[in-house]
Structure 1
Amino acid sequence: IAIKDLQERNGYSEELARQIVTGGGVKIYTTMEPAVQKALDATFQKQELFTADYSRVVNMPELPEAGMAVINNKTGAIAGMQGGYGDKQSNLVINRATDIQRQPGSVTKPINVYAPAMEMYKVTGATILEDKKVFLDPGNPEEPYPKNAYYPEYRGRMTLRNALKISNNVPAAEVMLMIGVDSSKYFMQKVGIDRTDDSASISMAMGGYETGMCPLEIASAFTVFPTGGLYTPHYAYTKVVDSLGNVLLENRPSYEQVYRPGVAYMMTKVMEETLEGRTSNFPYEGSAAGYGMLKNGVGEIIATSGKTGTTDEDVDKWFCAFTPYYTGAVWYGFDNRIKKQSVIGPDNEGAKRIWFDAMRVIHTDKPAAGWTQPADIVELKICIQSGKLASYSCGSGNVVSEYFEKNSPLTPQSVCPLHGGRPITPFGSAKSLPVVTEPTTSTTGSTAPSQSTTNPLSPDGAGTDPNQGPPQPPQPEIPPDSGGTPPPETMPSTGP
């Protein structure tokens, strides 16, 4: 990373930059945390994490590989990374945490669809979306697109929370159409993933991009959630000093308010569902069910939220999740240097196995921790059938907690129309702040005001300076053609 920075910031040639860094006499003050790196090194030595049944892959042209990056949420610094299974055989080999460009699949849904839509006052966790047959591929209008990677293929009406829980594709595409592709690209750029020149369109809702991504990019982008909507670009060192003491490079993190703190919190709570089994009458488990939240060495819970990702034909497996302390992303699959190979059988869990093995060790000595709920967030009981305030007539299996901004026009004020009755959450419980209007849009360019701040995170890494109110939300303008679709070949069908 320092070599690349010397080229980009100081204008050095690659040869000169490499000579400076590797030739001796240069001090690099790394952000690597020894305990984090030690945990990653140990995890990437465990063959059983890379293949649950070695006999299934021993005759394959390649063995499964992985890359993982972990970022300290409080500072935005890279705490550790690992680029492949086993011992490092030589210098300058591929680092799968930073050097790959693989399709991300559904792992990007929180950062390119759902959080942007929440920021734009389009949806909440209770918004009802419908998983049904749709035809969104203009190149093949007779063929349903997008599809889902499970059976039954379409599962009807569901809340946004449950759509993300099972990584449903049709609702994600529906929300992408609500916000427009340019707005999606805008918010992705705000968290360090610039795909403004990518010609893919609706396929982005399912993680179908022309240019793939690496674990470091994904992990860095997801830090916007545990930090109360603040983003700072990741960095691997604080400074680079030459033999004479001259500072060649220096990183001073700057923070930008990408999402309102309430949006970051709501999205974080929705992503907890990924790790859950059945929690209501909704008959499906989360795409990472069975893993649950992390616990420290004495069994205390450390809040955990995340998202899985799978690409077409099970070629790539992703898992990105975060705690109040760290955010980590894992890619798992084959290098495909000889031929394209799919991840099969129990190894579909590879990315999740690796993430949890490393992160359990990393959090062993951490105190129990949860998410800091912003003052403008209210918890309401809603009915999963309607997305409205639940009544005692809805039945306990249909009643769940959901989180809303008090000042949002989308916060439900009426009782469930399907069941009627007396609401469990009293009327007016979310009316303590005045209702705001939805951000305006226009049919011209795609620029949005920058919301920058130099305030660091609060000591617990949970949000912004409490003495400063949250900035107004960005208001990206949506051109009329932003909901278009690319040619079929750029539109893979992805799964959880």
Structure 2
Amino acid sequence: RLEPLAIGGIYPANNEDRVLVRLSEVPKPMVQALIANEDRNFYSHHGFDLRGIARAALSFLRLKGLQGGSTLTQQLVKNFFLTPERTLSRKITELFMAVLLEIHYDKDEILETYLNEIYLGQDRDRAIHGVGLASLYYFGKTVEHLTLAESALLVGMVKGPTFYDPFRNPERALERRNLVLRETKDRGFATMEEYSKARNASLGVNQKAAMGTSPHPAFLDLVHRQLRRDYDEADLRSEGLRVFTTLDPRVQSAAERVLERKLAQFDKGKIFGDPGLEGAVVVTDTQSGEVQALVGGRDVRFRGFNRALDAARPVGSLLKPAIYLTALADPAHYTLVTPIDDGPFVWKSRGAPDWEPTNYDKTFHGAVPLRTALAHSYNAATARLGTDIGVEKVLANIKRLGIEREMQPYASTLLGAVDLSPLEVAQLYQTIASGGFRTPLRAIREVTTQDGRPLKRYALAVEQAFPPEPMYLITAAMQGVVREGTAQSLKNWLPPETAVAGKTGTTTEQRDAWFAGFTGDRLGIVWIGYDDNRAARLSGAGAALPVWGEMMAALAPEPLALPKPDGIENVLIDPESGLRADFACSGAVELPFAQGSAPVARAPCASAVGVVVEQVKQQAKSWMQRLFGR
């Protein structure tokens, strides 16, 4: 199979990164340059060099402090086991431990470990250890492809990675590299021609240091956190595991590109200045729960605050589908056309001020069908529906959808007065998108040893949290949000036949803009706002939805077409009356209902002929069911 794209390394202890390499993968010129410059007697001594020790002792007697004299073995001991203090007693301890190391391991094992352990620089808060990662960081290539000049630069940095940093001190680094090359030539490891060619080469480092050791640090952060559930830090630090993730580079690239561009556009019209708007994106596979992309902020290469995982923000109307799902799970009392009162609503609570939610358009709309109340995100109707059902019952269903965070049983919670991260929102909507099957979101597929031996497979874990009928109904209602409600501007990016189901979310004073939506193959969550909680003056439809729409359009999503459960029937409904319609009713719509819950009464527009036709259709359907057992 094709070798997967490497997206980074995780070494949690001391914020260190490595890409482990075998000695056979390291270019011979690098090994020769290292030995020529750091320990020319490496293959003949027994862990210490008497001449080096003599030099160190002479330096100590001259009161210049201990310096030099360390073999590669001693350096390895110092890096692994000892403190950096420069005292005679520590030097003696280092010597004895080096001898013990030489007794128990052969030279190639010691050299390979040294090459993977040596400190070679700093990338912001992440220490770079080993020639494997250093090759990628400084040159953008794997270690086996390094030239003699590139190898010499890394060897030269062993003496002082900061002092000889090629990004900060290129002239100093060049001088040090050439000194290493000369010593390598003088020791017979390079010909004059090889030396001259390498000496005349430029430093050849990347024009700009990578902003983090992974091109996708936010996604890698999620991988790290999920790994820690199954491995302790000591294992992660020492085992050299290979982790196969669920990241889709095409999806990740689209999410990063669109978020950066849109945030820059939104910032142009703002008067607040820096820091600018921030955002986060999570994209998952609707069936497997695999996280395909995760963006933690507009600076996608910066491994800092991960908003996708850690920015718990008010979610606004994103909780409304859970309320309507709870209602639709009770078809004896609620259907998509059940009238809901969107009049003034007051919630009284002892010891607290009255709660009186208003609608986004500052208007009350009277009795409206349940599906319309969700499509247009009417707050008063939703609050009344949620309190009629019972706040505790709604919160229990939110938990069943996958939210583990504790939520207070207040009426205001129904309208999103609860803080969730984009990943938590993705978990909730994942259960809806998969038709009621709760699947924990995962970023890891498999973990193996360095040589490919499987250690752990992250099998798909699925639990049916809701029966298919109410999930089918809430999905149809959420498709109405996109077709005719607050998210109808999505048609600017995706054709109607994509049949997206989604929900916009906007919090008080437009501090947070959200959009959650799913197609036939992908779920996407987008959050836009300021880190300091300023009013962004952007709605979910005006800010988060355009990011979602442009991103999904770039991915050519599959249309959403959920299979209709056996317990669902489609009935033609007159939108004006909410009653049964037929072909004589202008503007009639076909809506799904749980079996036996559709209106029985016929709309005034229905014709007598239509009644007969409908009866014949129902008799034929009943006959087919008896004949085929369906």
1:376 to 552, 564, 567: 567
Shift of 1:226: 3.3
Q: How does 1:370-449 map to 2 (within 5 A)?
A: 370-390=561-581, 396-397=586-587, 399-406=588-595, 408=596, 410-416=597-603, 422=608, 426=614
Give the unaligned 5+ runs of structure 2.
1-221, 623-629
8 Å CA contact 2:267, 2:276 repeated in 1: no
CA distance in 2, matches of 1:141, 1:386: 39
Cα displacement string for residues 178-220 of structure 1 (whole angstroms, at most 9, x for unaligned residues): 332222222222222024x4224211221112xx112222222
CA distance in 2, matches of 1:202, 1:333: 25
Shift of 1:38: 1.8
Give the alignment's Cα RMSD to 1 decimal.
Answer: 3.1
Shift of 1:385: 4.1
Q: Which has the higher contact order (CA 8 A, sep 6+)?
A: 1
CA distance in 2, matches of 1:174, 1:428: 40
Q: How does 1:296-315 map to 2 (within 5 A)?
A: 301-315=497-511
CA distance in 2, matches of 1:180, 1:368: 35
Question: Residue 482 of structure 1 corresponds to which residue in structure 2?
Answer: none
Q: Is it true that 1:126 corresponds to 2:313 in the alignment? A: no
Q: Is it true that 1:288 corresponds to 2:509 in the alignment? A: no
Shift of 1:427: 5.4
CA distance in 2, matches of 1:82, 1:251: 23
Cα displacement string for residues 216-243 of structure 1 (whole angstroms, at most 9, x for unaligned residues): 2222221223322222111000123344
Give the unaligned 5+ runs of structure 1.
278-285, 434-468, 470-496
Shift of 1:287: 0.9
The structure whose Rg is larger is 2
Question: Residue 236 of structure 1 corresponds to which residue in structure 2?
Answer: 443
CA distance in 2, matches of 1:189, 1:168: 23
1:60 to 261, 267, 273: 273
CA distance in 1, matches of 2:572, 2:477: 14
8 Å CA contact 2:355, 2:412 repeated in 1: no
CA distance in 2, matches of 1:300, 1:271: 14
CA distance in 2, matches of 1:82, 1:156: 41
Shift of 1:140: 8.2
2:490 aligned counterpart, secondary structure: coil
Q: Is it true that 1:163 corresponds to 2:382 in the alignment? A: no
Cα displacement string for residues 350-377 of structure 1 (whole angstroms, at most 9, x for unaligned residues): 10111111111122xx565633223332
Q: Which amino acid aligns with 1:114?
A: Y
Question: Residue 242 of structure 2 corresponds to which residue in structure 1?
Answer: 27
Taking a change above 3 Å as real, the CA distance of residues 429 and 267 of structure 1, as seen in their structure-2 partners, is farther
8 Å CA contact 1:6, 1:249 repeated in 2: no
TM-score (norm 1): 0.72
Shift of 1:144: 5.9
Cα displacement string for residues 84-120 of structure 1 (whole angstroms, at most 9, x for unaligned residues): 113423x3x112222211111101211x211122123
8 Å CA contact 2:469, 2:568 repeated in 1: yes
Shift of 1:382: 1.9
1:184 aligned counterpart, secondary structure: helix
Q: Whose helix proportion is higher, 1 or 2?
A: 2
Cα displacement string for residues 461-485 of structure 1 (whole angstroms, at most 9, x for unaligned residues): xxxxxxxx9xxxxxxxxxxxxxxxx
Q: Which amino acid aligns with 2:614?
A: P
Q: Which amino acid aligns with 2:586?
A: S
Q: Percent identity?
A: 25
8 Å CA contact 1:29, 1:239 repeated in 2: yes
Higher mean C-alpha deviation, range 375-384 or range 266-275:
375-384
1:40 to 235, 252, 255: 255
Shift of 1:52: 3.8
Shift of 1:403: 0.9
Question: Residue 201 of structure 1 corresponds to which residue in structure 2?
Answer: 410
8 Å CA contact 1:135, 1:141 repeated in 2: no
Q: Which amino acid aligns with 1:106?
A: S
Higher mean C-alpha deviation, range 59-68 or range 351-360:
59-68
CA distance in 1, matches of 2:248, 2:459: 18
Q: Which amino acid aligns with 1:426?
A: E
Taking a change above 3 Å as real, the CA distance of residues 7 and 79 of structure 1, as seen in their structure-2 partners, is closer
8 Å CA contact 2:513, 2:539 repeated in 1: no
CA distance in 2, matches of 1:142, 1:315: 23
Taking a change above 3 Å as real, the CA distance of residues 428 and 156 of structure 1, as seen in their structure-2 partners, is farther
Question: Residue 263 of structure 2 corresponds to which residue in structure 1?
Answer: 50
Q: Is it true that 1:88 corresponds to 2:309 in the alignment? A: no
8 Å CA contact 1:293, 1:304 repeated in 2: no
1:254 aligned counterpart, secondary structure: coil
Shift of 1:71: 0.6
Taking a change above 3 Å as real, the CA distance of residues 271 and 368 of structure 1, as seen in their structure-2 partners, is closer
CA distance in 2, matches of 1:354, 1:134: 34
Shift of 1:318: 0.6
CA distance in 1, matches of 2:266, 2:226: 41
CA distance in 2, matches of 1:428, 1:228: 32
